Amino acid sequence: MISVRDLWKVYGPRANRIVGSPEADLPRGELQQRFGNVVAMRDVNLDVAPGEVFVVMGLSGSGKSTLIRCITRLIEPTSGQVIVEGDDVTAASAAELLQIRRHKVSMVFQHFGLLPHRTLLDNVAFGLELRGMNRTARRERAAQTLELVGLPGMGDYKPHQLSGGQQQRVGLARALATDPDIMLFDEPFSALDPLIRREMQDEIVRLRREVRKTMMFITHDLSEALRLGDRIAIMRDGRFVQVGTPTEVVLEPADEYVANFVRDVPRSHVVPVDAVMAPPADGPYAGEVLAGTKVRDAVALVAHSDLPVRVVRDGRTVGTLDRVGVLSVIAAEEL
């Protein structure tokens, strides 16, 4: 769906000569002083499968916003290749790029980016309007989309009349309205307070079930990354330091940096029962859980009975989970 190959973004004069050269590995300050260049993103490679939620996580200045903007060339990459659904974005002409932006990819922005002079309906219909869809059709579609994100009948409001959470729902609706296959999220919830953020994350989980989209999601919030991501890429100084499932990232951090990052994550929140189950045995069982369930969510079931719990995948028993397994995970958290 999205393929990124050897992608670089270097700011400053004669950026091309820095790409892949030894100078690129100079410390930030030295490179800046000597050549006037800043490497925002270096040698990024990634593949996002159809329907996957790929989260890019990193602190501010790590290059994650640059990366997501390079996908549709809102920022022009210095070198490398971006392929979206088989189209080479990096080689696309201006006209082709417009088509990709209008039909295939849409984006949700950090500070919502609603257009203050337009009603909600016209905001949501914006992408359709750019495509040249006629007024009635696009407004009808926009109204449906507003309903989908939980703001039915509010089409005539102006953005400033809405709370932050509602505004971002509109931002979401605007991105959904063009029915793209790929959605890009640039820290969409970082401006919201924690409760609303949680609510919006649930909204994404729900939408994912209802409308199957490929999503690339930028965040600096680890718990958000763990909740939403099928896979997570950790970014630092413009490069990926680790790419893996939430479990992998937490349990097998690639280096010190990632380890520090995930240190406070309770293991039971990310470890699936599969990882600590014993081989299948003959009953009796206190109950059953689906394979892939996080340990945290199996605790209650295991704790309430002396009997083990059956782990089921596709209707077949693949293992058993008892107190020892659960406690081993929880005990590890204390270390």
Between the alpha carbon of residue 294 and those of residues 25, 29, 76, 216, 310, the distances in Å are 40, 43, 40, 23, 14
24 scored as a contact of other proteins (CB under 8 A):
no
Indicate which single residue of 8, 54, 126, 189 sits in contact with other proteins (rule: CB under 8 A).
126
Nearer to other proteins (CB atom), residue 116 or residue 284:
116
Indicate which single residue of 3, 32, 79, 305 sits in contact with other proteins (rule: CB under 8 A).
32
Residues 150 to 179: which contact other proteins by CB under 8 A? 174, 178
Question: Across the beta sheet with 231-236, what order do the strands follow?
Answer: 105-108, 182-186, 214-219, 53-58, 231-236, 239-244
Interaction pattern, residues 72-91, with other proteins; x per rule: CB under 8 A: x-xx----------------
**How far apart, in whole angstroms, are the C-alpha atoms of residue 174 and residue 126?**
7
Terminal alpha carbon distance of the chain = 40
Q: How far is the CB of 47 from other proteins (least distance, A)?
A: 22
Indicate which single residue of 24, 81, 85, 102 sits in contact with other proteins (rule: CB under 8 A).
102
Candidates 114-122, 198-206, 216-224, 278-286 — which segment interacts with other proteins by CB under 8 A?
A: 114-122
Q: Map residue 298 onto helix, strand or coil.
A: helix
Indicate which single residue of 24, 26, 38, 286 sits in contact with other proteins (rule: CB under 8 A).
38
Q: How far is the CB of 72 from other proteins (least distance, A)?
A: 6
Tokens of 2: 């999205």
Indicate which single residue of 62, 90, 106, 268 sits in contact with other proteins (rule: CB under 8 A).
106
110 scored as a contact of other proteins (CB under 8 A):
yes
Nearer to other proteins (CB atom), residue 170 or residue 234:
170
190 scored as a contact of other proteins (CB under 8 A):
no
285 scored as a contact of other proteins (CB under 8 A):
no
Q: Map residue 285 onto helix, strand or coil.
A: coil
DSSP code at position 245: -
Tokens of 160: 């400033």
Cis amide leading into 13 (omega within 30): no
Give 267's contacts (C-beta < 8 A, 6+ positions apart): 250, 251, 295, 329, 330, 332, 333
Burial of 332 (0-12, 13-18, 19+ CB in 10 A): middle
Indicate which single residue of 16, 17, 34, 36 sits in contact with other proteins (rule: CB under 8 A).
36
Please give the size of the binding site for other proteins, defined by CB under 8 A: 40
Residues in touch with other proteins (CB under 8 A)? 11-12, 32-33, 36, 38, 40, 65-66, 69, 72, 74-75, 97-103, 105-107, 109-113, 115-118, 126-127, 129-131, 174, 178, 184
